[in-house]
Chain A
């Protein structure tokens, strides 16, 4: 009898304290190079959320190729939020499975992209071939490592950056196509993802230059030592915007909408922006951007909206079956 009373009071206590401090679990489905960023950020957000609401929030992370991750969510991976490499992959959540509204990218400031990055060159120490800009890459004998844009989100940014450079320099789409074609002539291996390409370049020692996300290039320097590689920044590149979104259908079902929204909004806060800068992503916030101005070299950055009319159009023109990329390789 006594034991029963104790048990009941314990249960009641648990119920009360449960109501006071909930323990929430979120799943953030992201792409490969954000691993370190979100490890930092999740800690910061948990502290912030605890102070604000008293609830404990644990964020689980899932990383992989951006397209593969989006397919996982489409096929039922219960992601509360997605933080992917490019808008096209988030668009697919609407196009294929209607998990989010069509205008998802308008819900958060700056195209739902709290941090940006760009495409730079990673070369071997001392830059033996003296590669300075995109023009140098198409010279005969230069070997370029970049993944297949049809399978890798990062590689699509690489391709579009090269295209934008040629278009700005020479003016016409035909010239840009010829330029990109000659660039891909110098590519000996098309890995299926960005991490695979980094391995080919860093571990296998294949190629003279790796086209890489700026944050990946910084990470490679940090990990493998700046005595082996160096970063070369071209005169012009593309503003890579890896966007974020809540997954409406999932958060409504799980009842995590408020916290998932707060999780993404906090990325825009001073602390969130600082964490992004610390992890080699370019912060949007002017104050944070000023703080990390010394880290990120200045260069001309073009946007996909201004240059290519948005992802949907770029995707269709360049990377769909029979698109420009296929034409480059058809004999």
Chain B
């Protein structure tokens, strides 16, 4: 008779659990973040624009987003290899290696920063060999392509320059990629590869047509997590970055700088820009992930 049939969910308690989710999310995430927006709302539009678009701040956005992106891409590549090895092969000490992956999660980031600086600075035990190599590499690049100011772009030193930021961000981001990929890889049966081989696929085809499509969503998620983590990282970077204005200052450092000057609003203004930009990027990455899942469906 009536077409109005109440649609019932298979699982009961949807209303309750959604309510719980929203309250929890509000308490833990939304309310603290909205404080930043409220504090910023006290500024005039002109003040806001000045605060978030001075040359020094703009340079820091470029640096923060740029280096975070590169670090996350490198982590996505090497994290995939690491996860693959940890899941697919058994070898002595595998458990130890597996546990090591989590260390960057647990280590206080300031300790990580100090440790990395001690190792890579020019009298550190790796830095004393690597820094001259790096400097020579930069010199070679400058000879080959003189049009680009390589030393400015890539940094002339390892520690206390841009490469240091990259090292720190790669360090903190690695576990995210590995830990997201591991369960997916474990679920991926080797039989799939065997089937591909019996159907005449060569190794490259198996990799690009069978394995990678299955892994793509998890890989993108891992990449997004590593990227987001790198964007917000402060503790380890300040020790190794050198913090030169308009060259190696990350955005979180500028926020702290504003706070040191009792400019609470200026600080939250930059924070708001970071928040919005990160949110948009993460949203885009999520969409990309969704799209990749559909696109690669076998």
Q: A191-B243, A192-B243 are in contact. Are A330 and B123 (CB under 8 A)?
A: no
Residue B121 CB within 8 A of the other chain: yes
Contacts of B262 in A (CB 8 A): 67, 70-71, 74, 92, 95-96
Contacts of A322 in B (CB 8 A): 54
Contacts of B266 in A (CB 8 A): 321
User: How many residues from A make CB contacts under 8 Å with B?
Assistant: 30
Residue A205 CB within 8 A of the other chain: yes
Contacts of A191 in B (CB 8 A): 243
- Nearest CB of chain A from residue B94's CB, rounded to whole Å: 36
Given the complex of chains A and B, what is the CA–CA distance between A189 and B124 in angstroms?
16
Q: Using C-beta atoms within 8 Å of the partner chain, give the interface range for chain B.
A: 20 to 34
A-B contact count, CB below 8 Å?
67
Given the complex of chains A and B, what is the CA–CA distance between A71 and B261 in angstroms?
9
Residue A37 CB within 8 A of the other chain: no
Q: In chain B, residues 5-57, which have Cβ atoms closer than 8 Å to a Cβ of chain A?
A: 54-56
Contacts of B245 in A (CB 8 A): 190, 326, 329
| B259 A71 Cβ-Cβ under 8 A | yes
Residue A202 CB within 8 A of the other chain: no
Contacts of B239 in A (CB 8 A): 196
Residue A320 CB within 8 A of the other chain: yes
Residue B70 CB within 8 A of the other chain: no
Contacts of A83 in B (CB 8 A): none
CB-contact partner of A192 in B54, B159, B256, under 8 A: B256
Q: A192-B253, A321-B266 are in contact. Are A150 and B243 (CB under 8 A)?
A: no
A40-83 vs B, CB cutoff 8 Å, 1 = contact: the mask equals 00000000000000000000000001011011001000000000
| A189 B256 Cβ-Cβ under 8 A | no
6 nearest A-B residue pairs (beta carbon): A329-B245, A67-B260, A190-B243, A151-B260, A205-B123, A189-B160
Using a CB–CB cutoff of 8 Å, the interface residues on chain B facing chain A are 54-56, 117-118, 121-124, 157, 159-160, 238-239, 242-246, 253, 256-257, 259-263, 266
Using a CB–CB cutoff of 8 Å, the interface residues on chain A facing chain B are 65, 67-68, 70-71, 74, 92, 95-96, 148, 150-151, 188-192, 196, 203-206, 319-322, 326, 329-331
